[in-house]
Structure 1
Amino acid sequence: MGGQQSREASASQSAASETPSACPLPESARSKAVYNVYNQKIDGSACPKMDPRNNMPIEPNQQPFPGQRKYISVSRQESTIPKGGTESTWVYPSPQMFYNALKRKGKGDDVTEDDMGSVVHAHNTMNEATWQHVMAWEALHAGECAKPQLLRFTGRPDELSPLARLSSWFGGQLPFDRHDWWVDRCGQEVRYVIDFYFHEHAAGTPEAFTLRVRPAIDNVESLVDRTKMSIYKTFARLGLPCPVTGTAGHVGRSAMQAEQQ
């Protein structure tokens, strides 16, 4: 009797250990820092609602906003930007989510339901271009990290970056938005500052938006990177080889190509 009960208990424990967790969030993701689009760290011990397309937590508000008069698409597009702490990429907000966010922040007075498709397209295109800028900078560290990821980000539209403020003192245009992006460089967090500019005279063309992307000067390494990139771009612009290796400077060329997108 005792032997039989022991065997049954052992079998039960074995079956339980083979039963997959009720939470579909992978163990590998639960042990890493993962953030949502609101720059909030996701609690890996909890079991949040999951996006079946990338098996990652989502908490979107896809409901029509109070007073909304027309249907807005709830379809979401996957980006090419690798998401920190996961094996997937970031997923862009749907037009409905974007509309809700604008209304919630009191910024949607001049935006209609019909505008949201083009607004989200412009938003997604700008973020893809931003990542290309970041990757051009990360090429300086390709030897130590071949696959950096975007860990988290936050908007800071009411805070001028030091570069934007300095430029404005000399008559430069003020950016309409600012973001800070934190990149996971294979275990090292690196902050990037992005200023977004809109040029009214070029409205409706690809040249209407420009970006300034650079690593924040949070340490000496970032300052060195800024100095290096300035030199590499100058030599590439002059058609000269890299001053360090004596070969064609691909880092400077890549950075210039990103700026032209």
Structure 2
Amino acid sequence: MGWFWASPQDGSSKPAKCPVDHNSFTGCPVDQKPASTGCPVNHNDFKPQATQVSSQPQMSGCPVDHETRSKFSWFNKPSGPDVNNNKINPLNNMPDLSSMRAPGQKLDLPTERTLSTIPRGSTNEEGVWEYPSPQQMYNAMLRKGGGEIAEDAVEPMVDIHNFLNEGAWYEILKWEQPYTKETKIEPRLLKFTGRPNDTSPRAQMLQVLGKIYPSKFGMPLPFDRHDWTVLRAQKDGQWEKVRYVIDYYCVDDEKNSEDPEFVLDVRPALDTVTSAVDRFNFWSGSVVHKALGFEQPYK
């Protein structure tokens, strides 16, 4: 399955809190479009990265309001420095984002970008994927017409986005481990795309099971979905493209609704027989190891 549960840096069992304080907002940054299943931290417009969520001041509340986000639509018109920037980069399905200060912006947002740990492209010369700066993220949300955005929430949103995507890559490395062990070549990320409005078949299935067995499978719809194209090394030195599907969940803790868990469901898409076999082996191996009392294996 490839589930990733975001936890605090100290290794305790308590999940990492979302560092977005809704009490301080003048308007929620959540995409409340009626037909949307997307997250306000608009992953469609960003590149991956990871910093520890727990390094931010401890605040409460998930940025995704699963109760009301589908009931209202009060978006402003698109604005900001990138409002007319419609040239899309095919590697990440988004435009190049400006680092310019937006008209009417009150706070100075950092323009520095951070490097991820995720190898980019097919050669070492291409380096690693680079994360957007808080200013770029803010401009991206304005470009999407995100309504009234709390400027002081942008930096923790960047941290959440980056932290979760690093977790996604960590899970992909687990799936890829047998192939890496055989070829001695690490996988690389060729491209990715956000698909917040497309619910994956697996997420749909979990919703049905949640209605039948709410205590076991009950959880909200994913607030976002990504499709990542990973390069897997072959014995002949060539790369094989493998598509991965990642569903992003924000689940409130049962004991404290202001203390959410972030959950990623990461798995190879069922595009090939090999991916289907990999998913079966991963699932069956996990069950056997759990039954024997062992820790979860890489694969």
- TM-score category of the 2 structures, normalised to the smaller one: 0.5 to 0.7
Aligned residues: 194
- The residue aligned with 2:284 is 231
SS at match of 1:64: coil
In 1, Cα distance between equivalents of 2:189 and 2:276: 21
| Structure with the higher helix share, 1 or 2 | 1
In 2, Cα distance between equivalents of 1:225 and 1:130: 17
In 2, Cα distance between equivalents of 1:111 and 1:64: 14
- The residue aligned with 1:188 is 240
Give the RMSD, CA atoms, in angstroms: 2.5
SS at match of 1:61: coil
Counting only pairs closer than 5 Å after superposition, residues 106-255 of structure 1 correspond to structure 2 as 106-107=145-146, 109=147, 111-142=149-180, 143-144=182-183, 146-171=185-210, 172=218, 173-186=220-233, 187-201=239-253, 208-239=261-292, 252-254=296-298
In 2, Cα distance between equivalents of 1:215 and 1:145: 20
In 2, Cα distance between equivalents of 1:112 and 1:85: 38
SS at match of 2:106: coil
Kindly provide the CA deviation profile for residues 14-48 of structure 1, in whole angstroms up to 9, marking residues without a partner as x: xxxxxxxxxxxxxxxxxxxxxx9565259xxxxxx
SS at match of 2:198: coil
Go from structure 1 to structure 2 and tell me whether the alpha carbon gap of 1:178 and 1:230 turns closer, same or farther (over 3 Å shift): same
Q: Which has the higher contact order (CA 8 A, sep 6+)?
A: 2
Q: Structure 1 counterpart of 2:194, which letter?
A: G
- The residue aligned with 1:95 is 134
> TM-score if structure 2 supplies the norm length?
0.59
SS at match of 1:188: strand
The structure whose Rg is larger is 1
Is the Cα contact below 8 Å between 2:113 and 2:133 reproduced in 1? yes
Residue 190 of structure 1 deviates from its aligned partner by 0.3
In 2, Cα distance between equivalents of 1:170 and 1:177: 20
Residue 174 of structure 1 deviates from its aligned partner by 0.6
Query: Taking every aligned residue pair, what percent have the same amino acid on both sides?
Result: 39
Q: Structure 2 counterpart of 1:100, which letter?
A: N
Go from structure 1 to structure 2 and tell me whether the alpha carbon gap of 1:144 and 1:120 turns closer, same or farther (over 3 Å shift): same
In 1, Cα distance between equivalents of 2:161 and 2:273: 32
Residue 237 of structure 1 deviates from its aligned partner by 1.4
SS at match of 2:297: helix
In 2, Cα distance between equivalents of 1:125 and 1:111: 21
Go from structure 1 to structure 2 and tell me whether the alpha carbon gap of 1:39 and 1:141 turns closer, same or farther (over 3 Å shift): farther
Counting only pairs closer than 5 Å after superposition, residues 41-80 of structure 1 correspond to structure 2 as 41=91, 59-80=96-117
- The residue aligned with 2:55 is none
Moved over 4 A (4+): 36-39, 202-205
Go from structure 1 to structure 2 and tell me whether the alpha carbon gap of 1:214 and 1:151 turns closer, same or farther (over 3 Å shift): same
In 1, Cα distance between equivalents of 2:202 and 2:135: 34
Kindly provide the CA deviation profile for residues 176-224 of structure 1, in whole angstroms up to 9, marking residues without a partner as x: 100000001121000000000011346665x521000000000111000
Residue 125 of structure 1 deviates from its aligned partner by 0.5
Q: Structure 2 counterpart of 1:122, which letter?
A: I
